[in-house]
Amino acid sequence: MGAISTASLPDIVFMLLFFFMVVTVMRETELEVELVLPQASELTRLEKKHLIDYVNIGPPIDKEKYGTEPKIQLDDQFAGVTEIQPWIIENRKKVLEVEIPKMTTSLKVDQDTKMGIVTAVKQQLREINALKINYSTTRRSRTGAE
């Protein structure tokens, strides 16, 4: 058998490359808070990414500048609790009206955060009728299961 020509190898690799460039999404936002998600077993996978708003809560990565207290990150900047409702309203404008009730707010909260700040965020969401929420977690098996 003669030597196999590898002349087309770069072509194949470029095809793979284009595939990844098209299918995947560049990470939109730089995470500014430390996030270790809790583990849970009763999970649902979220579909329809364009209908999900992400709220990150955790201690800032840059502790010298921002301190150690947990902060809320909406999209790519820190925000206070009072800025959540306007942010939700802005996100609703980007979506078809029929789809607004299907919008979900995914809360990605560091596991050591105290509930006070999370409860405050939830109260804000309730007031503006953004009732579908998701507590983002990683997966583990059910307690007591083999």
Residues within the interface to another protein (CB under 8 A): 6-7, 9-10, 13-14, 16-17, 20-21, 23-27, 38, 40-46, 49, 52, 54, 72, 80-81, 104, 106, 109-120, 122-123, 125-127, 129-137, 139, 142-144
CB of 39 to another protein, least distance (A): 8
Which residues, 6+ apart, have CB-to-CB distance to 31 below 8 Å? Answer: 56, 61, 73
CB of 118 to another protein, least distance (A): 6
Distance CA 52, CA 50 (A): 6
Residue 74 vs 130, nearer CB to another protein: 130
Distance CA 137, CA 110 (A): 10
Residue 1 vs 25, nearer CB to another protein: 25
CB of 23 to another protein, least distance (A): 7
Distance CA 2, CA 53 (A): 57
Q: Return the structure tokens found at 55.
A: 């709220």
CB of 99 to another protein, least distance (A): 17
Distances in whole angstroms, Cα of residue 128 to Cα of each of 56, 85, 131 = 19, 7, 8
